[in-house]
Structures are given as C-alpha cells and as structure tokens.
Amino acid sequence: MAQMTMIQAITNAMATELKNDENVLLFGEDIGVNGGVFRATEGLQEEFGVDRVFDTPLAESGIVSLGLGLTLENYRPIVEIQFFGFLFEAMDGIAGQIARHRVRSGASKSTPIVIRAPFGGGVNTPELHADSLEGLMAQTPGLRVVIPSNPTDAKGLLISAIRSNDPVIFLEHMKLYRSFREDVPEEEYEVEIGKASVKQEGSDVTLIAYGAMVQESMKAAEELAKENISAEVIDLRTVSPVDYETLIESVKKTNRAVVIQEAQRQAGVAANVVSELSERAILHLEAPIKRVTAPDTVYPFTQAESVWLPNKDDIIERAKEVLDF
Amino acid sequence: MAANEKLNPVDVLSEIEAKFEMFQILNEKGEIVNEDMDPKLSDEELVELMTRMVWTRVLDERSTALNRQGRLGFYAPTAGQEASQIASHYALSKGDYVLPGYRDVPQLIWHGLPLTQAFLFSRGHYKGNQFPEGVNALSPQIIIGAQYVQTAGAALGIKKRGKDNVAITYTGDGGTSQGDFYEGINFAGAFNAPAIFVIQNNNYAISTPRELQSKAKTLAQKAVAAGIPGILVDGMDPLAVYKVTKDARDRAVAGEGPTLIEALCYRFGPHTMAGDDPTRYRTSDEDSDWEKKDPIVRFRTYLEGKKLWSKDKEDEIIEQAKADVKAAIKEADATDKQTVTELMDLMYDVKPSNLE
C-alpha cells in the first residue's frame, strides 16, 4: 500500500499498463515532456520513451481519430482530451466513429481505446473546462463511461479500461485530483467496469451519486446520521451502463432514493436512473425518487460556482423531502 | 498623426498557384505527352489496369440499374472516375491500408473485398462490412473528412510498426472544406507518417460547384498549409494518376512523409441514386466536354495503338463483369436476414448489462 492522491493513482495505472503491454500508447496535448497540465502523465515519457508517450498537435478531432487509426495496427491508445469541455471538437471522432467502429465492421475490428479527460467544478476554471458532459457519452451506444470518485477506484477502473477491447470514456473530476490521499495497493488490480460500490450501508434512504457528488453525499449522510437518519450511499462508478442490480437491492431495503449529480437537471444520467428504478422497483418505493442536480443553465461564471453547484445541503434537503413524503 | 503605411502581408499566392500545374501523361487522344514521366508499366500491367477500369465501368452501370430495380440500396455512381480510383489503387501493395469515402467502393473491391459484400454494404447489411482477414481497409466512410484524420492514425501505426506500407484515403472536392481534412493532412505531416491523401475533384459537391468551396485556385495547394507536398493531376488519365500515387507511395515508404494529390475528374452520373438530379445544376455541354476526356476512351486508344487491346477483349471483360455482378447479387440475396440479437452481439467485445 502507498498513500496516493487520485491523480497519482491514475499515473500509476497508466505506468502499470505501459509496462504490461507494449501496444499501449499514450498521447494528447502536452502529455509528454510536460507531464500533462495536471501532471497525470508525469515521468511517463521519460520512463517509456517518446514512441510510447507523445504530444500531438492541438486538435481534438485529430487526436481521438489518430487513436482510431492506430487500432488498425493493434495499438491500444490512451488518449487525453485536455478538458472535457473540448469534447465538442471531437464529438464525431468519439460518438460518430470510435463508438461505432466495432459494430460497423460487423465485429471484425475492435476498439481498445481509452479517452481520459478532466472535468468538474469547484476549482475556478475558465469557460468550458468544468462542464459535466457525461450524459452525452452515456447516450451513445458503443461506449462505456467511467467516473471514479477516489484513488483506489481510479487505479483499478483505469487498468480495467485500458485492458478492455471496447472503448471507455474515463472522466476525472478535477476537484478530486488532489483533494485527499488514501492507501492504494501498489500491485496491479482491476475494478470491474459497470459495477457500483456501496460506500456506506444504511436503511432509511439510498443516496445514489457519482464523481464529486459522492463525497458530498457522504458528508450529507454523516449529518443525517446525527438526526438518526440512516442513509445508504452508493457510488455508481460507471454511469454507462449503470449497475441497476445494486441500486434495486438497496431500494428494496430503504424504499426511498435520491439521485445526485453535478450536471444540470436536463443533462447527466440521473433521469435514466430514476426511470429505470421506476420501471423495476416501483412496488418497493414509499416516495417518488428525487434528484439533486445543477440548474438548467450554462455552466456558471467562475464566481457563481459556489451558489450553482449542488452540495451536501441540497442532498440533505432532498433526502428529508423523500423521507417526509 | 500621420497615416500609417499599408502593411503588405506575405502574398505568394501567384507563385504557389503556378507550382500546381496539372500533371498529365496521356492526353485525350490517347497520346503520351510526357514521355519522361511515363511509369513504363509492362504490357501485362497495362492490360490489367484497363481490365479493372472496364470492369468497374460495367459495375457502375449494373449497380445503377440494380438500384433502380430496388435490388441495391445506397449507391454513389463512379463512372468517369475510373482513372482516379482504379489507377491510384493500382499503385498500392496488398498490405497498404485503404480508408475510402462513400464513393470509393471500387478501390475496396480491387483491394480484396468480395463483390457480394460490396452489395451487402449498399443494401445495409453488416456482413458487407466484415472484411476478410488481410484486406487492410475500412468500410466506406459516410462522415466526410473522418477518413482523413483516421488515415493519419493508420499511417502512424504503420510507421511505428516499421512496415513498408502506406495508408491511402480519398475525399471529394467538397470534403476539402472540412476541419478533419486539414487536421488529417496536418497530423500526418507533423508525424511524418506514410499517408497518401487523394482529393477526387469532380467539380461538384452534390449541387455546389467547386468554386463555392474555396477561393483557392487549386485544392492541391492546400498541402502547403500542412507543409507537405501536393500535386494536381489529370484525374481522367490513368497513367498520370498511377505515376503520382506510385511516387507518393515511394516517398512515404522511404520515410519522407505524406502527399496530397488532387485528381481532376468528373462523375458522369448523379451524386447518389437517392434522387439527385444533375440536370438542375450541370449543363449538357459540360457533360459532353467531360465525356471527351473519358479515361476509358483515351486508355483504350492508347492500348489499341500498342496492339494490347481489342473490341473482343473488351467484350470479354464486359461479359465477365456482368456475370460477376449477377453471381454476387444472387449470393447477396441468399444472405440471412439480420436480427436485433445479432446487432446486440456485434456491439461490444464484452456485453454490458443493458444489452443482456
């Protein structure tokens, strides 16, 4: 075990796979000698060489499509998009091409590509850096969308993503990069993609969250406990596909649920979760499932983040509404 | 305050444009006009190239007819572009990668895709896209420009593996306006990757004339923006197209990076068979001017002059092509219908819970 921040765990996962498989390549804007704008790829070019870890021209469409082309020679690209707000430049490359590559070849080709990108609010970034766009990816058949909330999951999920023969969108919340450390195993291990994690068991209400909202939910659960409300906190970890089995099992026990996301109400994946649980667990519900989300505006100007982003207080309020229903 | 002098931005347009003169070897009369550049193909190779072009012309005629009968689906006519499509492909090796656009099915067929599968692609059946092992190609790209950026990646892969191969891709004149067109040639240039980028300039993107795409006098000069060589070639001249592609391939394999080729050509038919009517935007004079440049006519004249071609030989190829089409359509008809389960099975290597 070693104490690691989430970003160190991510670097560690990439180093592990660069070592394990010579077909793994890592590229993007400023990820080489610079080690990435967040130091996620620090030291990797030095260790593995410029043939394995390299910088690209500044063009997101070109970068992700370079990845697709490289799979024809059986490379396994880890592609970095500097900030996920720049997704729109690469939307055809990802949703129109990479997500469809296997099926459009009648499964005669595979697409072992990981697209890593930072996102998420609370760190005062300029425009189109922090937007939560996972909903767009989750609506795209052919992709898996992974969002870790802690260093241990980040390492295991990223190793699984790199080993997957299907494309994975791996979204890294900027606020979580260095906000805390935890013991992370130094050896290689996988965390299964598509499996949620019960962060805290509870019996009164299920709080379903992902990304930075997991920590907010944990804080909310702690405060609710002081009022003798027992909240079960579930970290989705993968937002496409969602692990409904784990969610349904929890709802059968608590009979109440709140789905929490940082994205706007019309975005994210919360609406999916609510509708699936409504279809599959309605008879176990004592109250409507409520959502904690950001308002349906453009991502806020920096100074408005604190009043716009959802937080633990919003979660507590919504949980109580569900309990008092 | 005194008025400032006007700044003179660097203007080398006239110099640049002068460098992109159309390269030709065989003129409209089938005469060699550029002996020094003649690729000197053997008699067998010349006959093979002509055979492929005639076969492809018949394929176009039959595909158009089969589409009208409802026996084919999506089809983008190719008649007129045999030199730009077939002669460029003829300069490749088996191990090279072909990343075609939606009009570039003939190159795929000559690269090894069975005709039956090409027809299944047209109809919309996944089996049409299951390329046999060793056919290094992707299925026709519908998103104009996407094949260009992907080609930069395929070429970089080839370079990293140390192979003596190239990746070739095709787009049309309209496609040169896309961002992915520029990104593709620029990435390949920056990585010095062995790629050949072909623009088949047939003067129209559906109804939009070439002049509306860009003020640039040639499309080949767009190579300058990527810092790579560009060449304008008579796309109705099989020998010239072969020569420029072969040279580009040689340079790429020698580690000298990518080339952009603009082939000036014409499509005799409509944009696609999905209701496009070229009489709305093209004149019959224009059509007949270009028909005089027909690559098959000039190559036939040239080969007949060398006693390498005859009407009998051509009829034999035509009959063979018709028979091939008939057999392939029959085989396509006999292909099992698709099911939703199959489609779900094709999606992922490991099936996610929502598809179980």
According to the model, what pLDDT value does residue A108 have? Answer: 96
Q: Is B160 on the interface with A (CB under 8 A)?
A: yes
According to the model, what pLDDT value does residue B276 have? Answer: 86
- Specify the CATH number for the domain of residue A123: 3.40.50.970
Among B129, B131, B183, whose Cβ lies nearest the Cβ of A61? B183
> Do residues B220 and B262 touch, judged by C-beta distance below 8 A?
yes
- Specify the CATH number for the domain of residue A281: 3.40.50.920
B323-348 pLDDT, tens digit per residue, is 999 999 999 999 999 999 999 999 99
* Average pLDDT along chain A: 98
- Domain borders along chain B are 43-272
Select from B62, B66, B70 the least CA-distant residue to B319: B62
Residues A40 and A180 in one domain: yes
A245-278 pLDDT, tens digit per residue, is 999 999 999 999 999 999 999 999 999 999 999 9
Contact A104 B343 (CB under 8 A): no
Select from B257, B189, B224 the least CA-distant residue to B10: B224
The pTM assigned to this predicted structure is 0.97
A191 occurs within a structural domain:
no
A190 occurs within a structural domain:
no
> Do residues B90 and B52 touch, judged by C-beta distance below 8 A?
yes
* Residue B335 to chain A, least CA–CA distance (Å): 14
| DSSP character string of A159-183 | HHHHH-SS-EEEEEEGGGSSS--EE
Q: What is the CA radius of gyration of chain B?
A: 21
Residues A69 and A150 in one domain: yes
Among B129, B143, B151, whose Cβ lies nearest the Cβ of A69? B151
B196-223 pLDDT, tens digit per residue, is 999 999 999 999 999 999 999 999 999 9
Residue of A nearest to B99 (CA): A69
Q: With a cut of 80, say whether residue B1 has pLDDT above it.
A: no
Contact A66 B126 (CB under 8 A): no
Residues A46 and A174 in one domain: yes
How high is the ipTM of this complex?
A: 0.96
Looking at the annotation, which residues of B are catalytic? 267, 271, 281
Report the distance separating Cα A309 and Cα A302, nearest Å. Answer: 11
Residues A129 and A202 in one domain: no
- Which of A53, A58, A65, A279 to substitute to test the interface with B, most B CBs within 10 Å? A65
Residues A152 and A210 in one domain: no
Residues A169 and A223 in one domain: no
* Residue B83 to chain A, least CA–CA distance (Å): 27
B43-272 CATH: 3.40.50.970
Residue A70 is part of which domain span?
2-184
Q: Within a 10 A sphere around the Cβ of A269, how many other Cβ atoms?
A: 24
Report the distance separating Cα A60 and Cα A57, nearest Å. Answer: 9
A192 occurs within a structural domain:
no
A285 occurs within a structural domain:
yes
Residues A58 and A174 in one domain: yes
Pairing between β-strand A197-200 and β-strand A231-235 as defined by DSSP bridges: antiparallel
Residues A180 and A75 in one domain: yes
Q: How many domains does chain A divide into? A: 2
Place B287 in a pLDDT band, splitting at 50, 70 and 90: confident
Q: Is B349 on the interface with A (CB under 8 A)?
A: yes
Which residues sit opposite A117 in a β-bridge? A171
Residues A227 and A302 in one domain: yes
A189 occurs within a structural domain:
no
> Do residues B230 and B224 touch, judged by C-beta distance below 8 A?
yes
Among A69, A110, A241, whose Cβ lies nearest the Cβ of B354? A241
Residues A38 and A175 in one domain: yes
Phi-psi region of A279 (alpha: psi -120 to 50; beta: other; left: phi over 0): alpha
Q: Residue A232, SS3?
A: strand
Residues A296 and A274 in one domain: yes
**Percent of chain A scoring above 90 in pLDDT:** 100
Residues A14 and A133 in one domain: yes
Q: With a cut of 80, say whether residue B235 has pLDDT above it.
A: yes
